[in-house]
A and B are shown apart, each in its own frame.
Chain A
């Protein structure tokens, strides 16, 4: 990151401040040479005489932030800003503020001040480069184009500026101009390239051809042009693979299939393991529909490339004749089992999924027969891997018993093979035996403590089994635990999302369990209170249990939220990490990679892990919100307080014991250093006044970037529902039905919940209710809206009748709004639905949702 500033002394000195101004410039120089403390010393001198001098205030803020004094810096910056009217400050001051804002990652503000510096008369052209970088970071590519152009005009002698300009033009849709820019530069450097520049040059050439290809569309003449260009640059291009791929797809577009097929054959020769080329070769040969020809093609290719996967595998996906298929499968799978390839099953899993009706049965016979034919002692290696294969086979078919038999057989034969334990754990997991599964993995892990793969897997299994302590202990074997008692800090530092999210979910589950326990204890205590049988040992115990459980609830709730939010912080970091590349890629001359990054950057907040964190935190935020709506007397806190009234002494003792433990345990849970964050348990997060607004902060990133098709509309529905915006719920429902149709159970469930909510009072507003009521009818024709106020209408029954192939998901959705329905009946339906699901899911729903 360049912090260069060339405009020293060019700003207008304010009248009567000539001396201060010279001193200020001196301080600025000291800042540039990173002597922040000396710089501050001079600034303090200036400010003593003239506390209104904003330039000095701004620079002091920048010095302080460079020293890491963030909060103090913020004070000075605020002070400076309060003295500036709009952006009318000296160019240097604006520039300093721009750099300050960039340092504290307020990129939009930074853009504003850099811009202001230029508007106010700065002649420092360097600013344009920094400005362009920041504009790209905040997706202001239009602005970036202007800045890139200005900078390019000022410094025509650098390749980076030409590339940067072309990229900016390309992103803004000015493709032809981009091509022109690149062509111009090509001409300029012709014959003058040094060896070091050749790679950069080749990237730019390929980039230009990419843009030309995109402009060409389906226009034959233009495509011909691109082709000519590709031939021209061929000797100078290193990335032959992309060149050939582009060539081939141009031929395809022009309808010159024969030429295309030649190129694809060349590509296959270069890399005979890429499945894509084979598919495209088929297309270019025009034989996708003809299985006989396809088979012949692959038989031939197999001879050419006997060690490659695709020619062997692809025929298995289309051969219809059962006998032939069986032979081919045998030829494919058995050699792998003989060699002892652990991935034999994974290699054919795609066939299991794609051809469920035929492949599994055939392979079951083939592999079982093979197992019978071999001897466990003379051929031990094929024997174990065949057992392993069959165990996987039966797990896929959800025949857990058989799967277990085979994996046990394998373990008994060779108890030192770690893969077998991994798999046995998986079977147990599907059977819902989470603790047992974790123990099996632990057994496998002990065989080789260096094996990082099983280490992480074991950690994950223990987390799933809610054993956070053990999981953390095992994970810490591989982390850097310099100043910490365990690896939690390090795992946050290295952004180990898999661990943090699993931990978050484990804490969430523990929170639910503790909450239920707490409710039971309170009821018990209240009952005892009424019969006045509390002043005995049993009563004391109860008080103790309530206090301990209350803390368990709070701790797990807070930590769950803390961890979910940690995930969102990782993603903010990914977002910020892009900043450097807006200038780096230009300098290095890698425009294609840069564009890939931009594309990726747009999807960061829609990645599954982020969504998972969103969903998890939403559950917590919405329950916090629901609690905030309760009458004061009904809250758990009040109920506990009432119970404690009669046991003040005991309660006080318990509280202080818990507080002591809180302090002691802190080091086991801290995810950040104390300076960064002292809310170890996330209690402050729980006490935020407006939980939904907190959620909005992380949710809006997702909403801005997610495409309409991928958006999670249930989440949107639930969020707007909590916000009381029924009209927006309707919007979510409408979008959902557009994608999934009105026949989907979830659409029905959402519509029913929405409809029934229109008769409720707060927090829904009147207009929203009317819109939603009207809209339900429009979006879901057939929904008996007239029955809304009919107390006796059985909505569950209605749902049952209308959506006969009910999935579990909609039922769980209805269950989360069970106050609207006959909860007992709903529960019964869910139980019935669950009865033919696998035990893992059964247990989860039973334990945490019903």
Chain B
């Protein structure tokens, strides 16, 4: 049996830089370092949120990554609302090789583990390939266009909300 070229692995504090590099070189939006550091909360002021993050490898080279967050309902209700994908990137030349699907599958399995049924994601309006990809993977648009969602971006500042129910 041939070796599977694509694999996933955890994000560790030491290779956080890789995830950061991937995000910054694929997305037009530049996230600050704190956005990644919150995966590894330090001290009392650290974030108490639950995150799911993975790196995707192609032939042992890190080429994609995902970071998702468990959304809790702030109004004191017991049940959380779902899982929100904050970041999902794959390097341009490594697309259509199943890495993104694997990353999404990982988050979906985490959803099941946490008894969640909804996955959300924001996608920039001009990011057609992403919209197409999400649609292919069972996401549907929900609600109207959010105006001026992205601030530090070279692309469109507006975005859609996509949702997948599992």
Residues of B within 8 A of A696 (CB): none
- How far, in angstroms, from A291 to B48 measured CA to CA in the complex? 72
Q: Mark A422-453, 1 if CB is under 8 A from B, else 0.
A: 00000000000000000000000011111000
- How far, in angstroms, from A380 to B58 measured CA to CA in the complex? 9
Q: Do A377 and B93 have beta carbons less than 8 Å apart?
A: yes
- How far, in angstroms, from A377 to B94 measured CA to CA in the complex? 6
Q: Mark A353-382, 1 if CB is under 8 A from B, else 0.
A: 000000000000000000000001100110
The listed residue (A380, A446, A450) touching B94 by CB distance below 8 A is A380
The listed residue (B14, B18, B59, B95) touching A416 by CB distance below 8 A is B18
Pair count A-B, CB < 8 A: 52
- A414 close to chain B: CB less than 8 A: yes
Q: Do A447 and B18 have beta carbons less than 8 Å apart?
A: yes
Q: Mark A445-482, 1 if CB is under 8 A from B, else 0.
A: 01111100000000000000000000000000000000
In the complex formed, the residue of A with least CB distance to B20 is A446
Q: Do A413 and B18 have beta carbons less than 8 Å apart?
A: no
- Whether A450 touches B59, Cβ cut-off 8 Å, given contacts A415-B21, A415-B25, is no
Q: How many whole Å from A540's CB to the nearest CB in chain B?
A: 42
- Whether A414 touches B61, Cβ cut-off 8 Å, given contacts A376-B93, A377-B93, A380-B93, is yes
- B63 close to chain A: CB less than 8 A: yes
Residues of A within 8 A of B17 (CB): 446-449
- How far, in angstroms, from A24 to B33 measured CA to CA in the complex? 72
The listed residue (A340, A384, A450) touching B15 by CB distance below 8 A is A450
Q: Mark B1-44, 1 if CB is under 8 A from A, else 0.
A: 00000000000111101101110010000000000000000000
- A417 close to chain B: CB less than 8 A: yes
Interface residues of B in 51-75 (CB under 8 A from A): 58-59, 61-63
- How far, in angstroms, from A416 to B61 measured CA to CA in the complex? 7
Q: Do A381 and B61 have beta carbons less than 8 Å apart?
A: yes
- Chain A, interface size category, equals 10 to 19
- B87 close to chain A: CB less than 8 A: no
- How far, in angstroms, from A381 to B63 measured CA to CA in the complex? 11
- How far, in angstroms, from A383 to B59 measured CA to CA in the complex? 13
Q: How many whole Å from A563's CB to the nearest CB in chain B?
A: 30
- Whether A416 touches B93, Cβ cut-off 8 Å, given contacts A447-B17, A449-B14, is no
Q: Do A414 and B63 have beta carbons less than 8 Å apart?
A: yes
- B91 close to chain A: CB less than 8 A: yes
Interface residues of A in 657-703 (CB under 8 A from B): none
- How far, in angstroms, from A449 to B15 measured CA to CA in the complex? 6
Interface residues of A in 365-417 (CB under 8 A from B): 376-377, 380-381, 383-384, 413-417
- Whether A414 touches B15, Cβ cut-off 8 Å, given contacts A340-B59, A380-B58, A381-B59, is no
Residues of A within 8 A of B62 (CB): 416, 447
Interface residues of B in 61-108 (CB under 8 A from A): 61-63, 91-95
Q: How many whole Å from B88's CB to the nearest CB in chain A?
A: 16
Q: Do A448 and B18 have beta carbons less than 8 Å apart?
A: yes
Residues of A within 8 A of B61 (CB): 381, 384, 414, 416-417
Q: How many whole Å from B22's CB to the nearest CB in chain A?
A: 6
Residues of B within 8 A of A450 (CB): 12, 14-15
- How far, in angstroms, from A416 to B99 measured CA to CA in the complex? 15
- How far, in angstroms, from A377 to B58 measured CA to CA in the complex? 12
Q: Do A414 and B21 have beta carbons less than 8 Å apart?
A: no
Q: How many whole Å from A451's CB to the nearest CB in chain B?
A: 8
Residues of A within 8 A of B94 (CB): 377, 380
Residues of A within 8 A of B25 (CB): 415
Interface residues of A in 763-801 (CB under 8 A from B): none
Residues of B within 8 A of A380 (CB): 58, 63, 93-94
Most central of A381, A384, A414, A417 by chain B CB within 10 Å:
A414
- Whether A413 touches B14, Cβ cut-off 8 Å, given contacts A381-B61, A447-B21, is no
Residues of A within 8 A of B18 (CB): 416, 447-448
Q: How many whole Å from A413's CB to the nearest CB in chain B?
A: 6
- How far, in angstroms, from A222 to B18 measured CA to CA in the complex? 66
In the complex formed, the residue of B with least CB distance to A449 is B14
Q: How many whole Å from A184's CB to the nearest CB in chain B?
A: 60
Most central of B21, B22, B58, B93 by chain A CB within 10 Å:
B93
Q: How many whole Å from A713's CB to the nearest CB in chain B?
A: 49
Most central of A377, A416, A446 by chain B CB within 10 Å:
A416
In the complex formed, the residue of B with least CB distance to A413 is B93
Q: How many whole Å from A29's CB to the nearest CB in chain B?
A: 56
Q: How many whole Å from A450's CB to the nearest CB in chain B?
A: 4
- How far, in angstroms, from A450 to B21 measured CA to CA in the complex? 16
- How far, in angstroms, from A417 to B93 measured CA to CA in the complex? 14
- How far, in angstroms, from A629 to B13 measured CA to CA in the complex? 58
- How far, in angstroms, from A448 to B16 measured CA to CA in the complex? 7
Residues of B within 8 A of A383 (CB): 93
Residues of B within 8 A of A447 (CB): 15, 17-18, 21, 62
- How far, in angstroms, from A340 to B58 measured CA to CA in the complex? 12
Q: Do A414 and B14 have beta carbons less than 8 Å apart?
A: no
Residues of B within 8 A of A376 (CB): 93
Residues of A within 8 A of B58 (CB): 380-381
Q: Do B22 and A414 have beta carbons less than 8 Å apart?
A: no
- How far, in angstroms, from A383 to B63 measured CA to CA in the complex? 14
Q: How many whole Å from A347's CB to the nearest CB in chain B?
A: 20
Q: How many whole Å from A449's CB to the nearest CB in chain B?
A: 4
Residues of B within 8 A of A415 (CB): 21-22, 25, 91
Q: How many whole Å from B137's CB to the nearest CB in chain A?
A: 20
- How far, in angstroms, from A296 to B21 measured CA to CA in the complex? 51
In the complex formed, the residue of A with least CB distance to B65 is A416
Residues of B within 8 A of A340 (CB): 59
- How far, in angstroms, from A787 to B104 measured CA to CA in the complex? 86
Q: How many whole Å from A690's CB to the nearest CB in chain B?
A: 51
- How far, in angstroms, from A417 to B25 measured CA to CA in the complex? 13
- How far, in angstroms, from A413 to B94 measured CA to CA in the complex? 9
Q: How many whole Å from B3's CB to the nearest CB in chain A?
A: 12
- How far, in angstroms, from A417 to B94 measured CA to CA in the complex? 14
Residues of B within 8 A of A448 (CB): 14-15, 17-18
- How far, in angstroms, from A449 to B18 measured CA to CA in the complex? 10
- How far, in angstroms, from A383 to B58 measured CA to CA in the complex? 13
- How far, in angstroms, from A376 to B92 measured CA to CA in the complex? 10
Residues of A within 8 A of B20 (CB): 446
In the complex formed, the residue of B with least CB distance to A380 is B93
- How far, in angstroms, from A373 to B13 measured CA to CA in the complex? 39
Interface residues of A in 80-133 (CB under 8 A from B): none
- How far, in angstroms, from A449 to B61 measured CA to CA in the complex? 16
Most central of A376, A448, A450 by chain B CB within 10 Å:
A448
- How far, in angstroms, from A620 to B25 measured CA to CA in the complex? 48
In the complex formed, the residue of A with least CB distance to B24 is A415
- How far, in angstroms, from A384 to B92 measured CA to CA in the complex? 13
Residues of B within 8 A of A413 (CB): 91, 93
- How far, in angstroms, from A191 to B13 measured CA to CA in the complex? 62
Q: Do B91 and A414 have beta carbons less than 8 Å apart?
A: yes
- How far, in angstroms, from A448 to B25 measured CA to CA in the complex? 17
- How far, in angstroms, from A415 to B14 measured CA to CA in the complex? 17
Residues of B within 8 A of A381 (CB): 58-59, 61
Q: How many whole Å from A734's CB to the nearest CB in chain B?
A: 58
Q: How many whole Å from A454's CB to the nearest CB in chain B?
A: 11
- How far, in angstroms, from A383 to B93 measured CA to CA in the complex? 10
Complex A-B: 6 CB contacts under 8 Å: A380-B58, A413-B93, A416-B18, A446-B17, A448-B14, A448-B17
Given pairs A415-B22, A450-B14, 13 additional interface contacts (CB within 8 A): A414-B91, A415-B25, A416-B21, A416-B22, A416-B91, A446-B20, A446-B21, A447-B18, A447-B21, A448-B14, A448-B18, A449-B13, A450-B15
Q: Which 9 A-B pairs have the closest CB atoms?
A: A446-B17, A449-B14, A450-B14, A416-B62, A447-B17, A415-B25, A377-B93, A448-B15, A380-B93
